[in-house]
Amino acid sequence: MKQISGGVCAAKGFRANGIHCGIRHNRTKRDLALIVSDVPAAAAAVYTTNLVKGAPLTVTKKHLANGVAQAVICNSGNANTCNANGLEIAEAMSALVEQATGICADNVVVASTGVIGQPLNLEPIAAGVGALAASLSDQGSGVAAEAIMTTDTRMKEVAVEFTVGGKLCHMGGIAKGSGMIHPNMATMLVFITTDAAISSEMLQKALSGDIASTFNMLSIDGDTSTNDMVTVLANGLAENAPITSEGADFTAFMEALNTVNVTLCRMIAGDGEGATKLLECKVSGAGTEEAAKKSAKSVICSSLLKAAMFGADANWGRVLCAIGYSGADVDVNKIDVSFRSAKGEIQVCKDGAGVAFSEELAKQILLENEIEILVCVGDGPYSACAWGCDLTYDYVKINGDYRT
């Protein structure tokens, strides 16, 4: 398996595009994206656990009940959430795709991202969808990735090629996410495409299984969004023997999916609102998988730890504090902590107590833009990894007037 270019268009038979249609006032910002498959595809999705859900998620869940989809339409600038006519608008967006492409409206994934509680005007979408569809391209992943961005500062896309049953397959994804990210199923908006042949049941199993150790281990600010969704479309054009059960082919598919998802997790964490650093907490030595995950996620979610990383302050006590209230079953007297970056590695805690270390070296390590927080909680066999970012002044500035 190796990384390649192409994003969601790396897989055979997928085209994409992104335009500015007028939802957003800034005409330099694309705000409408479309991804289509040449043929109907097996489809799977996971959705936010927030009780307040965007109307597009309700419509998408209905459309994917049969495990089939052929297109994704997504707007940015408005979440279409808590709107009296939200469901009507989401269904109308699907109908517009059918008019422009001939793809059945019931085979369309609908997504929206942006401000909650603001009416979404269908007119700009209706006026722009024709041009959007007319310029679909197998080189269009980048502009589609731009069109789903909100407070993101850079687009997020990845693609890999891998082998299943002797056939070369491709998988690619784009994502948006910068703030309101603390998922309990998946996160933000992520669209993944592949030309591998796999049943919708096994596709759902793969996606639901992988997010537990990828997107569910990501947090920017502790807020679970109303519009979180991850979807995967698999059109089978690689012509491998369809994956219908577990085995070597399913394992190869899972490895590719995990690579795509981990890469997108790191991109999202590194582009957190106002962030200057990507944080990666690696926990080892846990007695259970649950203890490893709880410990890693709690460290990443700690506002005090995130603030310390912003200031390049090796305040390791905040790591232990976060593990202590995480609910993880660990022996706090066996915890070791080190910080690592491109500038080196330094141990700051052993067996739950501080050790002498160079503050100057620690500062240099923590001034880098990618920081690893290495935690060993004992001699158990389980480990976990979580991703996040530092907490900066700019996070408050961005969210202080986000709506206005």
Alpha carbon distances (Å) from 41 to 18, 173, 243: 21, 15, 14
Token pair 């199993």 is found at 205
- 3-state class of 324 per DSSP? helix
The pLDDT value recorded for residue 118 is: 92
Q: How many folded domains does the chain comprise?
A: 2
> Catalytic amino acids?
187
CATH code of residue 365: 3.10.20.340
Task: Give the residue from 270, 301, 322 where a domain finishes.
Answer: 270
Same domain, 296 and 226: no
If asked whether residues 214 and 255 sit together in one domain, one would say: yes
DSSP string computed for 186-250: S-SEEEEEE---B-HHHHHHHHHHHGGGTGGGB-SSS---SS-EEEEEE--TT-PPPB-SSSHHH
What is this structure's pTM? 0.92
Q: Which amino acid is at 337?
A: V
Same domain assignment for residues 244 and 324: no
CA 181 and chain centroid, separation: 9
pLDDT, residue 227, reads 81
5/11 Cα distance (integer angstroms): 10
3-state secondary structure string, 245-289? CCCHHHHHHHHHHHHHHHHHHHHHHHCCCCCCCEEEEEEEEECCH
Does 295 share its domain with 262?
no
CA 174 to chain centre: 9
The secondary structure of residue 362, as a DSSP letter, is H
Query: Is residue 254 located within the same domain as residue 292?
Result: no
Q: Do 234 and 296 belong to one domain?
A: no
pLDDT along the chain (404 residues), means of 10: 97 98 94 98 94 94 98 96 96 98 98 93 98 98 97 95 98 90 69 98 97 91 83 98 98 98 95 94 98 97 96 98 97 97 98 98 98 97 97 91 78
Residues 254 and 316 in one domain: no
CATH of the domain at 104: 3.60.70.12
Question: What domain range includes position 259?
Answer: 2-270
Of 270, 298, 317, which marks where a domain is finished?
Answer: 270
> Cβ(138)–Cβ(36) under 8 Å?
no
For residues 115 and 219, state if they share a domain: yes
58 C-beta neighbours (distance < 10 Å), count: 16
Structure tokens at 161: 């090629």
Assess whether 120 and 22 both reside in one domain: yes
pLDDT in tens, 116-151: 999 999 999 999 999 999 999 999 999 999 999 998
- Does one domain contain both 118 and 262? yes
